[in-house]
Amino acid sequence: MATTAPAAHRCSYEDYEATADWLRSQTEQLPKVAIICGSGLGGLAELLDNRAVFPYRDIPNFPQTTVEGHQGQLVFGTLEGHQCVCMQGRFHTYEGYDVYKVTYPVRVFSLLGVRTLVVTNAAGGLNNSYNVGDIMLIKDHINMPGLVGNSPLCGPNDDRFGERFPCMSDAYDRDLIALAKQTAEEQGIGAFVQQGVYCMVGGPNFESIAEGRALRTFGADAVGMSTALEVVVARHCGLRVLGLSLITNMVVTDYESKQKANHAEVLETTLMRTKDLQGLVRRILAQMTEDPEDL
């Protein structure tokens, strides 16, 4: 069992432990659910009761978020009977962080006792049957950085987190997906809730027309610049995962089109659907049981 790797920026078990210990010293809350908020979706943290808020700059070893729409703070609290921790803003490789820093919070959450991870993101639609404002339940992903060897699991494995070769064919919990679909119908938003494959690319540029066409050929229904790396680490740690993408724009795949993707459009669309997405997450948690392995 190794705790360090040759890579200069790889984090040690002791780094994660130090961060978890600091958070334990600041709050008595013991979260079982972690929620990572994508661009413009930080309002999910406002749903929590009995909130304790920690800016990332105050947390030992935590990176800082630099993207508009990411507030940059960790919020502990209670939602629908579950003790939760919510990231108002995530980290991306395009900000200059390596894959170890991008996924750093997930291993900290695992050490805190989190058993379920809910990841949300803003994504571009590739599937022609999707519309801007749809919510896609992620059933699988294509991890483009990981496919070319840029994985947070590279380097010596630390068995205290998970096994050397974790399975990803069940990365997104099927029971939670079924619960989310049922909850969307009960909430009356089933008409614009989809289920599909998310593809992660590096960014920060939006995709070229040829790239968008290629990703659709690969089987991707939506594309974004986050999530897959976090999910890989979550599954390595044994967490179950529910992923939701808010389709904020349609990827341009027609050379005759005059449309251009931009971040302002992404944030504008999140405002349009944020209440629906927040309500969906809240109702899912209200009906969600703890991880069966914990019962």
Instruction: State the catalytic residue, choosing from 87, 92, 97, 236.
Output: 92
Instruction: State the catalytic residue, choosing from 121, 151, 226, 245.
Output: 226
Active site residue 288: no
Instruction: State the catalytic residue, choosing from 95, 100, 184, 207.
Output: 95
Active site residue 39: yes
Active site residue 249: yes
Active site residue 127: no
Active site residue 151: no
Active site residue 92: yes
Active site residue 157: no
Instruction: State the catalytic residue, choosing from 20, 34, 39, 172.
Output: 39
Active site residue 272: no
Instruction: State the catalytic residue, choosing from 127, 143, 151, 249.
Output: 249
**Amino acid at site 255:** Y
Instruction: State the catalytic residue, choosing from 12, 18, 94, 168.
Output: 94
Active site residue 95: yes
Q: Cα separations (Å) of 134 from 127, 130, 194? A: 11, 7, 7
Instruction: State the catalytic residue, choosing from 61, 157, 211, 263.
Output: 263
Q: CA 161, 162, 166: angle at the middle one, nearest 5?
A: 145
Active site residue 82: no
Cα four-point dihedral sign 139, 174, 110, 117: positive
DSSP 54-102: EEGGGSTT-----STT---EEEEEEETTEEEEEEES---GGGT--HHHH
Instruction: State the catalytic residue, choosing from 87, 225, 228, 288.
Output: 225
Q: Which residues are catalytic?
A: 39, 70, 92, 94-95, 122, 225-226, 249, 263
